[in-house]
Amino acid sequence: MQAQPRFIRLFEEISAADVALVGGKTASLGEMYRALRPRGVTVPNGFAVTADAYRYVLTQANAWEELHAALDGVSVDDMEDLTRRGSRAREIVYAAGIPKDLETEILSAYRALQREYGPQSSVAVRSSATAEDLPTASFAGQQESFLNVRGEEALLDACRRCFASLFTDRAIHYRVDVGFDHFKVALSIAVMKMVRADLAASGVIFTMDTESGFRDVVLITGSYGLGENVVQGAVEPDELMVFKPTLLTGHRAVLRRSLGSKKIMMVYGESGTRESTCNVPTPLADRERFCLSDEEALSLADQAIEIERHYSARAGTPQPMDIEWAKDGLDQCLYIVQARPVTGVAPQHGAVLQEYVLTERSRVLASGRSVGARIASGSVRLISSSAQAAEFASGEVLVTDSTTPDWEPIMRRAAAIVTNRGGRTCHAAIVAREFGIPAVVGAGNATERLSTGQKVTVSCAEGDVGNVYEGWLHYDVRRTDVARLTRPRTQIMLIAGNPELAFQQSSLPNDGVGLARMEFIITEHIKAHPMALLHPERVADEAERRMLEALARGYRQPGDFFVEKLAEGVGTIAAAFYPKPVIVRMSDFKTNEYAGLLGGRWFEPREENPMLGFRGASRYAHPAYAEGFALECAAMRRARETMGLSNIKLMIPFCRRVEEARAVLSHMKSLGLERGKNGLEIYMMCEIPNNVLLIAEFSELFDGFSIGSNDLTQLTLGVDRDSATVAFDFDERDPGMQKMLRLAVEGCRHNGVHSGICGQAPSDYPEIAAELVRLGIDSISVNPDTVVSTTLAVLEVERQLAAQVRRDVA
C-alpha cells in the first residue's frame, strides 16, 4: 500500500481554509477546483507542494541560521543593503536543494497530472506564499512563477527557484512595509496544467468597476498571449463590461466595450523560465479585433459571478474579486487561473461621498486611462528603472513606461503615477488604487512629453480619460454624508450625458436620471453623422470618407457601428442607475451642430437661425433624416430589449404640434418602439409655448412631460439664447416665464401625467426650484454638482409646506 504523501495536496483536497498550508493563491485554486467546477467554473487541475515542504527543505539543510544572518536587520531604505541581503537569502534557499523523499512525492504527483493531460503537456510552477491574496494586502507579483515547464528535472529546478523567490528584493521590501515577519511567512508551490495562452489570449477580470466602486458590473480586460503584459501594463488591453443584474435575468449582451491597441504579445521558449519569455508584434488583423468574442466574454462573466457569489457567501459580506483568466490555444477552453479579493479600490468611503473637482484648467500635456477618481499635483520625476529609487522624492509624480512589483517602494511615495503603457487592470493601476493615489495609464508618449522637475496636476476625476495638466492647479475635495440625507417627496433626478461618469454619479443621492442627453455620446464616442455612415458615397471629401470607413471598420454595416456605440453609451448610463428610471432624450442637435459631425456638412441645410429650424421631432420622420432616426431607435431597442435595461424611458424634444407628435409616435411604432409595449413610456419635452397651451391634447399621447426651461424661456420672451447681444434679456425668473411654469405643472397634474423639469433654471436659481415644489411638480432634474444643494433646498421647502398645512389644520 502506497504511503500517503506528507508534502503534496491535490487541488481536489484543498479548500480556502488551507492558506497556512498552501498559501493564498493555491488555496483559492483548490477551493474553486473543488467547489465551483460543478457550477461551471473551469480551473486547470494540479497539486500543491505545501508550506511544510518549504520548512522541511530548510530544516534538512540546516539553513535557518544562515537565513537569519542574511536578513536580520535588513534596511529596505538602503537599496544596496537590500540587494546584497536578498541575493544571499535566495542563494541559501536554492542551495538547500530538494530532499529525496520530497522529490519522490513531487514527481509522483507530476506523473499523475501527465496521465490526465497527456505526456507532452507542460505545467506552470507558481509560487504561493502563506501571506498572499489576502483581503487586506495583495502581495501580488512578489514571488516568481515559471511557465511551460516540461520534464522532471526542469520541474524540480523550477520548484527550487520558486522556494528561493520568497526572498526577492521586492518581496522583502513589501513584507517590511506591511508588517509581516519574514520567518512567519512560508512558500507553497502550485503545479498545474499550463494553459497555452501564448497561442490565444489572457487577461484580468474585476467583478466591479474599479474606478467608481460600482458593484453591478463585471470588467473583463484581455490581450493576446501570456497574461503578464496585461498585469504589468505593457499593453493597452481590450475592455469588455457586462451588467450583472440583466445577465442574471437572461439578457446575454455586453454592456460596453473598448478596443485596445494590443501592440505586442508575450510568448515563451522551451525552458519555461521568466527570462525565456519574449514579446513579439501582434499581427495587425488581430490588433483590430477583440481578443474575445461576446459569447466568450459572457462565459467569463458567468464564471466571475459564480466565483464572487461563492466567496461572498464564505465571507458573509459582498466580496468583489480580482480574477485572472487564460484561453488555451490548443483546446480553445477558457480557464480561471487565479482569484483573490479586490484590495484598495473603492474611492467612496462608507456613507461619505468624496468628490474631487478641478476648479481651473491649463494645457493638457498627456492623457490616458484614469485610475482612482482623484487629483494630485507635484513635480515630475522620470524613472526608467526601479534601480533609480534613491532619486525619487516623496510627493513627486512618477512618470515611466510601465511598472512591475519591483517599483512598489517608489510608487508608495508618489503623489501620482503616469505610465506610457497599461490598462485599468495593470500593475500600476492596481497598486495606485491600493495606495490611494491617482494614476494615468496608457498615456502613450508621456515620457517624451513630460520632463523631470516640471510642475503638473494629474486629474483622474473627469471620467475614463485622465489628464496631466501643466502647472499646479486648484481643486476642491467635496465630502457629503449621504446616509443622513433624507429623501424629499419631490424626486431629485440628475441630468447626465457622459457614460464615463455615470457609475461615479450614481452614488449621489438621486431618484434616477431625468434627462440623459444623446448628443454627448454621438459627439464623443461616435463622432460621425448617421446619414454619412449610411451614405458615404454622398460625402464628397475623400479624406472624410476614409475617416468614416475607419470608424466602421470591423462592423458588418456602417450603421451597426452607430447603433452599437449609442446603445452602449445610453446603456451604461441606464445600468449605472438601474432600476431607477432613466429618461433618454432622442437627438436634439441643431443643423449647425449636426453639420459639425464627421460627414455632416453634406447632409445638413444652412439655416439663419438653427434654434428655430430643422431640429427635434421635425427631423424624425422627415426624408432627410428618417434613416438616421431609425438608427437611434435601433440603438434604443438594443439597450432596452437585448441588454434588458427596461428602466429606459424615451423623450421627444422640440415637438411643435399635436399632429407632429402623432406622426413621430407612429413612426417609432413602425421601428419597434411602441408606447406601452414592453413597458415603454414615452415623454415629451415641454419647451414650446404651444406645448403648454395644448397640454391636455399632448397628454393624450405621452406618459409625461419634462419642462425644458432654456428653450421655453427663449420662446416665451422671444430671446435668442445664442445671441450675446440680447443675452441680458434671457431670464427664467421673468413673470411671464413663471406663469408658463405654473400652467405646465398644473396642466400635467390635471391630466394625470408626470411633470418634471430638466432645464438649467432649478440649478441656477433656488427660488425657481422652491416655487416648483410649491406647485407640486413631480421631479426636478439638476446637474450632478448641484444635486446635494438642491435636495437640501427642496427638503426645506417641503418642511415649510408641511408646517403650513399643520397650522391650517389647527
Residues 27/15, Cβ–Cβ less than 8 Å: yes
Write out the H or E segment, with its range, that includes residue 538. none
Q: How many CB atoms lie within 10 A of CB 717?
A: 18
Write out the H or E segment, with its range, that includes residue 227. none
What is the spatial distance between Cα 676 and Cα 596, in angstroms, rounded to a whole number?
36
- Please give the full DSSP string across 378-395, using - where no structure is assigned: EEEEE-SSGGGGGGPPTT
What is the spatial distance between Cα 269 and Cα 181, in angstroms, rounded to a whole number?
36
What is the spatial distance between Cα 29 and Cα 757, in angstroms, rounded to a whole number?
53
Amino acid at 716: T
Residues 195/399, Cβ–Cβ less than 8 Å: no
Q: 509560487: which residue's cell?
A: 127
Q: SS3 for 653-714, per residue?
A: CCCCCHHHHHHHHHHHHHCCCCCCHHHCCEEEEECCHHHHHCHHHHHCCCCEEEECHHHHHH
What is the spatial distance between Cα 18 and Cα 130, in angstroms, rounded to a whole number?
9
Q: Phi and psi for 266 in degrees, rounded to 5?
A: -95, 130
Write out the H or E segment, with its range, that includes residue 405. none
Strand arrangement of the beta sheet that strand 145-149 belongs to: 8-10, 46-49, 187-193, 123-129, 145-149
Residues 265/285, Cβ–Cβ less than 8 Å: no
Which of 356, 392, 556 minimizes the C-alpha distance to 475?
356
What is the spatial distance between Cα 481 and Cα 688, in angstroms, rounded to a whole number?
39
Contacts of 703 (CB under 8 A, 6+ apart): 649, 675, 681, 682, 683, 753, 754
- Please give the full DSSP string across 724-783, using - where no structure is assigned: STTGGG--TTSHHHHHHHHHHHHHHHHHT-EEEE-SSHHHH-HHHHHHHHHHT-SEEEE-
- Cell numbers linked to 252: 446575454
What is the spatial distance between Cα 244 and Cα 253, in angstroms, rounded to a whole number?
10
Helix 51-60 and helix 64-71, axial crossing angle in degrees, nearest 10: 100
What is the spatial distance between Cα 7 and Cα 693, in angstroms, rounded to a whole number?
85
Identified catalytic residue from 159, 426, 748, 758: 758
Cβ burial, residue 523 (10 Å; 0-12/13-18/19+): middle
Identified catalytic residue from 182, 427, 529, 667: 427
Helix 51-60 and helix 19-35, axial crossing angle in degrees, nearest 10: 150
Cβ burial, residue 168 (10 Å; 0-12/13-18/19+): buried
Residues 790/784, Cβ–Cβ less than 8 Å: no
What is the separation of C-alpha 687 from the centre of its chain, rounded to a whole number of angstroms?
Answer: 36
Q: Which residues pair with 516 in a beta bridge?
A: 496, 584
Amino acid at 329: G
333 carries an active-site annotation: no
291 carries an active-site annotation: no
Question: How many CA atoms, within 13 angstroms, populate the side-chain half-sphere of residue 23?
Answer: 32
Report, as residue numbers or ranges, the catalytic residues.
427, 758
